[in-house]
């Protein structure tokens, strides 16, 4: 129901499936089911988590621009930081780390630099700055409900993040980053895309 914008949950971003609902709530659910114009268009959506990779799954990312793929596998956790190993199709290894708490999502290299952050709570027009290799990059959330298709499938309610270095990133709750585009060229080129999750 949430995935299809029939329900948006409570104001504290929780769902209470065992709570009784009123006739009014049921009427809203039914209207949203029958007519999509009644559904929330994402302008009021607030995200407080869910971008970190699932440690029970393996992720395969494709990098069309550089013509290689990379398979991410969870290798353990230390001090609340998940450790992942990426193996590319040439046999090279890269060691990544992910963490997520109430303040946001952080991605980087193990024992190295942070690559990107996403602050929580996240909503339309949220802005922040990352200092990637001492170079500040500004980000803004430009949509909370994009539909994105990659080789891994079609994802609804993707969150679109635009940077001032001409990239668009798409995050999906429960999945993480699914697509990154280079918008400095037209048509935009895919830099990174989720190819498969298993």
Cβ neighbourhood burial of 190 (10 Å; 0-12, 13-18, 19+): middle
pLDDT digits (tens, 9 = 90+) for 45-101: 888 888 989 999 999 999 998 889 999 999 999 888 999 999 999 999 999 999 999
Q: Please calculate the CA angle 190-173-124 and round it to the nearest 5 degrees.
A: 80
Structure tokens at 76: 């353990």
pTM of the model: 0.80
HEC assignment per residue over 174-197:
CCEEEEEEECCCCCCEEEEEEEEE
pLDDT digits (tens, 9 = 90+) for 33-47: 888 777 766 677 888
Comparing 181 with 20, the larger pLDDT belongs to 181
Dist CA 7 CA 20 (whole Å): 14
């Amino acid at each position: 129901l949430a995935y299809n914008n029939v329900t948006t949950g409570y104001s504290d971003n929780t769902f209470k499936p065992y709570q009784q609902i009123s006739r009014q709530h049921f009427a809203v659910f039914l209207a949203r089911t029958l007519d999509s114009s009644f559904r929330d268009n994402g302008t009021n959506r607030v995200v407080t988590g869910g971008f970190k990779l699932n440690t029970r799954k393996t992720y395969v990312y494709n990098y069309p621009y550089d013509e290689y793929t990379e398979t991410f596998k969870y290798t353990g956790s230390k001090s609340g930081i998940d450790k992942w190993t990426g193996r590319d199709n040439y046999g090279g290894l890269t060691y990544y780390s992910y963490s997520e708490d109430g303040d946001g999502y952080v991605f980087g290299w193990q024992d190295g630099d942070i690559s990107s952050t996403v602050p929580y709570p996240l909503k339309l027009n949220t802005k922040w700055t990352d200092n990637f290799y001492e170079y500040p990059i500004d980000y803004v959330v430009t949509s909370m409900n994009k539909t994105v298709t990659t080789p891994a499938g079609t994802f609804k309610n993707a969150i679109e993040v635009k940077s001032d270095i001409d990239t668009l990133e798409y995050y999906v709750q429960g999945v993480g980053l699914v697509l990154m585009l280079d918008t400095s060229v037209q048509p935009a080129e895919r830099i990174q895309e989720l190819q498969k999750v298993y």
